[in-house]
Amino acid sequence: MKAGIIGATGYAGGELVRLLMGHKEVEIEWYGSRSYVEQKYADVYRNMFEIVDARCMDDNMEELAEKVDVIFTATPQGYCASLMNDGILSKVKVIDLSADFRIKSVPVYEKWYGIEHKSPQYIEEAVYGLCEINREDVKKARLVANPGCYTTCSILTAYPLVKEGLIDTDTLIIDAKSGTSGAGRGAKLPNLYCEVNENIKAYGVANHRHTPEIEEQLGYAAGRDVVLNFTPHLVPMNRGILVTAYAKLNQVKKADGSMGLPAYEEIKAAYDAHYGKEKFVRVLDKGVCPETKWVEGSNYVDVNFIIDERTGRIIMMGALDNLVKGAAGQAVQNMNLMFGIKESEGLELVPMFP
């Protein structure tokens, strides 16, 4: 099987290359990078010295569609949508790591992203590639919208409780913390070492673009509109996202017929029902808080929760590697599903510690 990557020199693109190097069924045919055309890929990412011999190619999606079985687009917002057409989709499967096909409502997309959507006709058929939730649809898809990093972590952390109606989604607050690779490889002052190191800050408060994506997906789970607060923070580390989510627990009927807060076991059962058979979602032991370091370099998401009886709230926590399960790993997982390959192929990486 042959794959092409458009945007192979960003951090997510680079991670795709790393993962596909260890994938038995796939060969990378095309390292697309408009910024580095003709340069050796291993000169851009020297970890690939003597591993990748190819040079970077321009982003010619039409030509690429002739040559490969699957295209990954790890490109700025709007780029993939601007190139999509029937010809391409008739020839190859596309996994888009940008936000272009994640949001079903064009006005919502255009409002939060501030750009016009250039191919809204493909939004409907695009499958939101959160494998653990939309697995069957992904298998049949020819266009997958690979979820955002914050989004994957936020949704998977809260999903079972939203789905089972155990929390009041009107009270849902997601406080997220991300390593700096999520900001990309652009040479921008706020991402300089000296600006990020020994520092933590919130950003995109009340207006981060991953908000509507989380709301839409959790809305499907809830069966009603969800409006929530999402606050990302920049943390001085390379990789990792930690989500700390808060919500009021709904009262449930207890054994004696009275109403009350659900017990630990009831919440645990909800998580297990959804994730018990999932290889890549690990529901931790009671009381253990997820740490990003325990999943680094791997496709795992670690989730857990603690009930606060004093306030009637539950604190849900989730951790993943933003470049793996939050981007490239999930893209490979989607590819595996789309092509009938073993779902974990190329993804059986043990987290690296320390």
Q: Which of residues 198-257 bind a copy of itself (CB under 8 A)?
A: 198-203, 205-206, 227-229, 231, 233, 235-240, 242, 244, 246
User: Does position 18 bind a copy of itself by CB under 8 A?
Assistant: yes
Distance CA 245, CA 313 (A): 10
Q: For the residues of 42-104, what is the DSSP string, one character each?
A: HHHSGGGTTT---B-B---HHHHHHH-SEEEE---TTHHHHH--HHHHHH-EEEE-SSTTT-S
Residue 145 Cβ vs a copy of itself, minimum distance, rounded to whole Å: 23
Q: Binder to a copy of itself among 193, 259, 277, 340 (CB under 8 A)?
A: 193
Site string for a copy of itself, 29-68 (x = CB under 8 A): --------------x-xxxxxxx-----------------
DSSP class of residue 22 equals T
Q: Is 80 a catalytic residue?
A: no
Kind and range of the H or E run holding 152: helix 149-163
User: Does position 333 bind a copy of itself by CB under 8 A?
Assistant: no
- 84: which 2 tokens? 């999509």
Place of tokens 């936000």: 99
Q: Which of 131, 149, 194, 289 is catalytic?
A: 149
Number of chain residues interacting with a copy of itself (CB under 8 A) = 84
Site string for a copy of itself, 74-113 (x = CB under 8 A): ----------------------------------------
C-alpha radius of gyration, the chain, whole number: 20
Please name the amino acid found at residue 107: P
Q: Which stretch binds a copy of itself (CB under 8 A): 131-139, 151-159, 175-183, 266-274?
A: 175-183
Q: Scanning residues 270 to 309, which ones bind a copy of itself (CB under 8 A)? A: 282, 284-285, 288-298, 302, 306-308
Q: Collapsing DSSP states into helix, strand and coil, what is residue 314? A: strand
- 197: which 2 tokens? 């190191």
Enzyme catalytic residues: 149
